[in-house]
Amino acid sequence: MNRTSPRRTAAGRSVRPVRPVRSAGAGSGGMAGQSAVVTGSSRGLGLLIARELGRRGCRVMLCARDAEELSRAEAMLRGEGTEARSLACDLTDEDAPRRLVTAVRDAFGGGPDILVNNAGVIQVGPLDAMAENDFRQAMETMYFAPLRLVLEALPGMRERGGGRIVTVSSIGGRVAAPHLLPYVGAKFAVAGLSEGLHAELAADGVSVTTVFPGLMRTGSHTAARFSGRPEKEYSWFAVAAGLPVLSMDAERAARAIVRAAEQRKPELVLTPAAKAAVRLHGVAPATVTRCLTLGARLLPTAGEKPERNVPGHVAARSVRPRLVHRLTRLNDRAARRFNQRVS
C-alpha cells in the first residue's frame, strides 16, 4: 500500500487525505450501485461513513453547510474512486430536503436509496450558560431536519419497494450527560423518532437503523461550541473524547455503522463504555442518575460572566496545562485527517 502525501488546497492549507484502503467486500453486496445521501459529511464521522458507502459501490451525495470543507471532502472521495457529488446547504432551512433529494436524482438518476442522518451540533456547558435558542438550534438540526429529510425521501423509497435509513443518535440519546443538555435533548428525540419509524416502515421494505455511538476520535472537539468557561469545558470534553479507553477509532465506527445498515439492523450501540452505560441504565437507572449527579458537581460552573458558543479550536488556545494537549493528541490527529478545522 502506498502512502498518501499531503496536498495543498487553493487556500494554501495542507490536507492529508483519508487512507485509500478498500474494505473487505467493497463494490459488492446489497448496496452496490445504490445512491446514498449523508448529511454532515464534509468532515468527521459523516465523511467516514460516506467513504465506507463508496467502498461498497454506492454513489454518494455529500451535504454540509461549509462549501470549502465540502469541496475538499468530495475531492478526497473522488480520489479513492467513489462517484461522489456534493451540495452545500443548511438543513435547518425548510426547503433544504427538497433541494437535496432533487440533487441526488439529478446526479445519479434516482434515489436516494440510502439516507444517513448524521448532521449535528455539539454545545457544551452548564445550563446557566445556555439560552433557549441553543435548544431550538439543536432540535432543528438533529430532530426536525432528519424528520423533513425522511418525509421527502420516503415516497421514492416506497415507490422503488424499499430503502435504508440510518439515524445517528448518541449514547447521550439514552443516558443524559450533564453539560450537554441541548445535545442530549435532541438526541433523545431523534432516537424515539427513528425507533418509531423502524416499526412503521418495515412493511414498506424500508429498514431504519438507529445508531448510539459513544465517544469517538473524530476530531469533533475542535468544532464543538463551548459556553460558560470555554477553556475548562473544552479541557474535560476534549480529553474524554480522545482517551483510547473511553473513545473509539472513528474509522472502525464508520465501518460498523455501514455494516449495520447493510444488514438492516434495527439498532447499533458503539464502544464498550456506551454498551455498559446503556445496560446499567436499563437495570439500575437510579444508580446511573446518582453517578451523573456526582459527575455534574465536578464539572465547571458558568462563572460570573459566562462566554457563549466559543468554537473548540478557539477555546483550545486558552488551555494552559500541557497535560490536556498531550491527552488530546490522538483526537487532534483525527481532526487533521478527517477534514476538521484545527486552527
d(CA 302, CA 267): 36
Number of Cβ within 10 Å of residue 214's Cβ equals: 23
Residues in the chain, total: 343
To the query of whether residue 234 is one of the catalytic residues in this protein, the response is: no
The answer to whether 316 and 222 are in contact (CB under 8 A) is yes
Angle between helices 44-55 and 67-79 (to 10 degrees): 30
Which residue of the set 108, 144, 183, 226 is catalytic?
183
Name residue 72's amino acid: R
Element (H, E) at 342: none
Question: What are the backbone angles phi and psi of residue 38, rounded to the nearest 5°?
Answer: -125, 120
Q: b/e map of 85-106 (b: 16 or more CB within 10 Å)?
A: bbbebebbeeebbeebbebbee
Pairing mode, if any, of strands 35-39 and 59-64?
parallel
Pairing mode, if any, of strands 163-168 and 206-213?
parallel
d(CA 147, CA 261): 18
Exposed/middle/buried for residue 305 (C-beta within 10 Å: 0-12, 13-18, 19+): exposed
The answer to whether 270 and 252 are in contact (CB under 8 A) is no
d(CA 259, CA 254): 9
How far does Cα 289 stand from its chain's mean position? 26
Catalytic positions:
183
